[in-house]
Structure 1
Amino acid sequence: MKQIFLLRHAKSDWSNLGQQDFDRPLSKRGINNAAKISEYVRKNNYSVDKVYCSSSERTKQTFDLCSDGFNFPINQADYLDELYFGGISEVSRLIKSLKESISSVLLVGHNPTMHYLVEELTEQRLIKFPTCSLAEITTENLWKDVPLKKCTLKSFIKPKELKF
């Protein structure tokens, strides 16, 4: 079985109006929510073999705060501009190019790509994919054969649902 974890970045800070979108850091709420997700992941013994993270500041901070929960070293993550600028087709190509020795991957990115990707891989329709939410998708297929609409949305966790 293959696992795909999709994590939308945590809430960003909009207080510096002149700041570029790419450079926005997390807000206090975002930091707290990322810590909640990290604790949830740790308590559920999730782990990943590979991490791809958007190169934006808020996604890097989100992963930094969640990396312990996933038991994955920060310095082994790949930070990709494609996860900031790209859409579903770029992320799908990334998934299909994974080595078969990898059984689980975490992608840390942005909406609407994360939202649309859940809907493209599974037949689930999401109303929203809030900041710092985590989707767990599974498939029995090889990475190169990951089918659209045939994967399973095993869980979808929103930080406001977590009471730690």
Structure 2
Amino acid sequence: MKTIYLVRHAKSDWGNANTGDFERTLNTRGMKAAPFMADLLKKKKILPELVLSSPATRALTTAELFCETLGYPEEQIQKRMEIYEGGVLHLMKIVQQIPDTCTTAMLFGHNPTLTEFSNLLAGSYIENLVTCGVVRIDLDIDSWKHANPDGGKLIWYDFPKKHR
């Protein structure tokens, strides 16, 4: 059994028109939502063995805030440009390359790709993975290389506004 958590970056700041998409930071709401969601995972005793992130500022900052709360070493976050630039097939390839010694992985990225990937991998439908939303997908496989479309099961989908 393998488990992957897909996490969309927290709410980003659109206030500076001179900031490029890749460099956009988190806004105040995003800086609060990421530790809040990470704390919910911590209370569920969720600790990833591997964290993969888009290197874009908003995704990487979200990953760092989660890792700080979950006790995962930030320097061990694997930054993958394909998460930022690629589509669902790139994400599938990344997942298929996760070492089999890892049973629980967490991937931080962007929409619409993360929503599409969640729907592809779990064979279920989420309309929109909202900012700082977290999806848990379980895969009944022994090796990540066997991850494939419709091969997983959506266990839950959680997000900050659900807890207001």
Q: Shorter-chain TM-score category?
A: over 0.9
RMSD of the TM alignment (CA)?
A: 1.0
Distance 2:156 2:97 in 1: 24
Report the equivalent of 1:110: 110
CA contact (8 A) 2:39 2:70 kept: no
CA contact (8 A) 2:9 2:109 kept: yes
Report the equivalent of 1:23: 23
Report the equivalent of 1:79: 79
Report the equivalent of 1:151: 152
Distance 1:72 1:151 in 2: 25
> How far is the alpha carbon of 1:147 from its aligned partner?
2.7
Once the two structures are superposed, residues 73-110 of structure 1 have per-residue CA deviations (whole angstroms, 9 ceiling, x without a partner) of 10001111111111111110011111111111110000
Structure 1 length as normaliser, TM-score? 0.96
Report the equivalent of 1:162: 163
SS at match of 1:58: helix
Matches within 5 A, 1:11-160: 11-141=11-141, 142-160=143-161
Identical columns (%): 28
In the alignment, structure 1 segments of 5+ residues that lack a partner are none
SS at match of 1:21: coil
Aligned AA (2:161): K
Distance 2:70 2:155 in 1: 17
The list of structure 1 runs, each at least 4 consecutive aligned residues, that deviate by more than 3 angstroms after superposition, is: none
CA contact (8 A) 1:123 1:150 kept: yes
> How far is the alpha carbon of 1:70 from its aligned partner?
3.0
In the alignment, structure 2 segments of 5+ residues that lack a partner are none
Total equivalences in the alignment: 163
Distance 1:64 1:11 in 2: 14
Aligned AA (2:127): I
Structure 2 length as normaliser, TM-score? 0.96
CA contact (8 A) 1:41 1:69 kept: no
